[in-house]
Amino acid sequence: MRIDIISVVPELLNSPFQASILKRAISKGLVEIKVHNLRDYAVKSYDQVDDYQYGGGSGMVLMIEPIEKCINQLKEDRNYDEIIYMTPDGERFDQKMANRLSLHKNIILLCGHYKGVDQRVRDHFITREISIGDYVLSGGELGALVVSDAVIRLIPGVLGNQDSALTDSFQDDLLAPPIYTRPAEYKGMKVPEVLRSGNFAKIDEWREEQAEKNTQKRRPDLMDDEC
Ligand code: ADE
């Protein structure tokens, strides 16, 4: 899979890809991440990428021309399954969307900044708009990182143990059960006996029960979800 991220602050997008699981996924060749500085596509006559809003109002707007130039240059080399704009008024990102996106070959994530992008970009070049939650960030970069991380860890071979992505919270509309590691007892706090019993049928049953209890208590809305 290849993810192209377009941003006016590309430096925000470096370090998360240089550590841990994402770094390993890149070095194994399972995913390719390319960050593009929108300023490299600045309109020559203005040497800028943003401008004031028509009609007045505070905040700058990212211009259509640099964005179109950048997207067109990328599209010359490959087809994209989705050209996604990160925005607080987009469709809410969730595990199901991450699962679907992880099946794609090439996607573009366009990060808004300042007030956002000229509406004509959204109307003509964007195939999907994603929000990572009901709050406003300073730009789409953190959202693009959240989406990239959630998607990349689902690509086969990225996680050492393939089961591990499938048993994540939300994969079956249930939160994950509690987990423990050594020591078996710490200052009187004990690991549940069943997990140390070696009886894997019982352990599975306990985990299922705990996942249901957890979900009922913290996120009952997930259990009502039909789809
Ligand atoms: N840009 C600003 N806020 C955002 C959000 N909540 N989700 C995605 N992109 C954003």
* Architecture, CATH, for domain 168-226: Orthogonal Bundle (1.10)
**61 in Cβ contact with 117 (< 8 Å):** yes
Beta carbon of 87 within 6 Å of any ligand 1 atom: yes
CA of 93 to the centre of ligand 1 (A): 10
2-152 has which fold?
Answer: Alpha/beta knot (3.40.1280)
CA of 138 to the centre of ligand 1 (A): 8
Beta carbon of 131 within 6 Å of any ligand 1 atom: yes
Residue nearest to atom 1 of ligand 1 (CA): 140
In three-state secondary structure terms, 115 is coil
* Burial zone of 3 (CB within 10 Å; 0-12 exposed, 13-18 middle, 19+ buried): buried
The C-alpha atoms of residue 194 and residue 227 are separated, in whole angstroms, by 32
Same fold yes or no, 2-152 and 168-226: no
Kindly list the averaged pLDDT for each block of 10 residues, start to end, along the chain of length 227: 98 96 97 97 88 95 97 98 98 97 98 95 98 97 98 95 76 92 98 98 98 97 74
Q: Which of 13, 111, 142 for a ligand 1 pocket mutation test, highest count of atoms within 8 Å of Cβ?
A: 142
Q: Which of 7, 126, 136 for a ligand 1 pocket mutation test, highest count of atoms within 8 Å of Cβ?
A: 136
Name the residue ranges covered by the structural domains of the chain: 2-152, 168-226
Residue nearest to atom 5 of ligand 1 (CA): 88
Beta-strand relationship, 2-7 and 32-37: parallel
The whole model's pTM is what? 0.94
- Per DSSP, helices labelled H in 56-94 are 64-77
CA of 41 to the centre of ligand 1 (A): 23
CA of 5 to the centre of ligand 1 (A): 14
Residue type, 171: Q
Q: Which of 62, 85, 87 for a ligand 1 pocket mutation test, highest count of atoms within 8 Å of Cβ?
A: 87
Beta carbon of 112 within 6 Å of any ligand 1 atom: yes
